[in-house]
Amino acid sequence: MEEKSMNIARYVLFSLIGVLIGSVTTFLLMNNMTVLTSINSSVISINDDKFKPVMEAYNTIKNEYYKDIDDGKLIDGMINGLMQATEDPHTSFFDEQATKDFETEINGTYYGIGAQIAQNEDNNVVITRIFGGSPAEKYGLKEGDVFVSVDGESMLGKTPTDVSSILRSSDTKKNTVVVKRGNSEETIEIEKSVVEIPSVNKEVLDGNIGYISINLFSSLTDDQFSDALDELEKEGIKSLIIDLRGNSGGYLSTVTNIISRFVDKKTVIYQIKQKDKTKKYYSLNDSTLNYKVVVLVDDGSASASEIMASALQEQYGAKLVGKTTYGKGTVQEMKDLNNNTMFKFTSEEWLTSKGNSINEVGVAPDYDVDLSEEYYSNPIRENDTQLQKAIELLK
């Protein structure tokens, strides 16, 4: 988010986390401009008769239940119940840990060492990826390292969340980690810093075909995409593949900036439908690119990914390859609560640049291509039938 005091950001995100409701006045982030908007809703006092059953249930559980229950858990449960009552899968409650995880992912930075971790078959935490330029890389951690201890505390049998909470803690500037590497142990002292999470990968394929994959539209993805595309263009690419498979969405302002690289200001890139009106949103750029583009999509491509895929298909002439996208055509807003939790709620519907609704329908590819059975057992480029189809179209 642009500032901590701005409690709510407009974004388009497909999320499977959680299931709470809205307040009245919110800050919205749209196209890098902050505007104040009011949400029409009636304000009900806690003294309203409608709340008497709620308070009666709360007091009964609090005072007569056979075990002590934390007030915070009861309140979280009440809020979560409000979210579930909307029967909207995209209106959801985020508890304190989920809020921290979400903010880290969508903001694109966090304080820590810059390593991706997971639990291995021995139930220990292993490093699966080292971010470039991170403290983990600087101080010599390696992919495959297994955490033995951090600051003298054993990490064997711990979960990735346990390890992450220590390494991301701002209480310490340094951590001493012991990792098992092969048959030996290494002791490494690491000074932590703010780490930028990469959401874009790029390379040049045979035939001067550029390839960019985007795994999330965080607040930093547009800059990362722009840098990657500039570098590919300097390397002389003649066409481009954009891989949005499995990309579940992110900030609307981010995807707007990326689409604007391809088409000029006269071009509608999507529309937003509210209760009483529909507004068109245009590219922010003055020029148009002129090389061929293929976009890879699948049923995990949702929200902002669908906005990008449909805009490039309808307005740039890009070809879509893969499977029909998820079909999330609604816009959510995030609202921070004053107990370090948050919720997201559905406020609008978005339409493609030509006014088509994709909600629960998805964006259909120009070339419907299944992944081969060989890819699932051996996921290499040669077995990626969708990527190979994209390369064939561009060659």
Distance CA 77, CA 148 (A): 36
The three-state secondary structure class of 387 is: helix
Residues whose CB falls within 8 Å of the CB of residue 141, separated by 6 or more in sequence, listed in order = 113, 115, 127, 130, 177, 179, 188, 190
328 given a catalytic annotation: yes
The three-state secondary structure class of 59 is: helix
Tokens of 384: 């990626």
Residue 213's DSSP bridge partners are 201, 243
Tokens of 69: 């229950």
Q: Of the listed 314, 323, 344, 347, which one is catalytic? A: 314
Quick check: 348 and 274 in contact, CB under 8 A?
A: yes
Q: Token pair 């600087």 is at which residue?
A: 138
Quick check: 53 and 377 in contact, CB under 8 A?
A: no
Nearest of 245, 262, 209, 374 to residue 322 by alpha carbon? 245
Q: Please give the distance of CA 353 from its chain centroid, rounded to a whole number.
A: 23
**DSSP string for 208-269:** TEEEEEES-B-TTHHHHHHHHHHHHHHTT-SEEEEE-TT--EE-HHHHHHHHTTTS-TT-EE
314 given a catalytic annotation: yes
184 given a catalytic annotation: no
Nearest of 156, 152, 147, 140 to residue 126 by alpha carbon? 147
H helices present in the chain, as ranges: 52-64, 71-85, 96-107, 135-138, 160-167, 221-234, 252-259, 304-311, 373-377, 385-394
Q: Of the listed 158, 328, 335, 389, which one is catalytic? A: 328
Neighbours of 34 (CB within 10 A): 14
Q: Of the listed 134, 213, 283, 303, which one is catalytic? A: 303
Edge-to-edge strand list for the sheet holding 292-297: 200-205, 209-214, 239-243, 292-297, 319-322, 367-368
Tokens of 20: 């709470």
Q: Which residues are catalytic?
A: 303, 314, 328
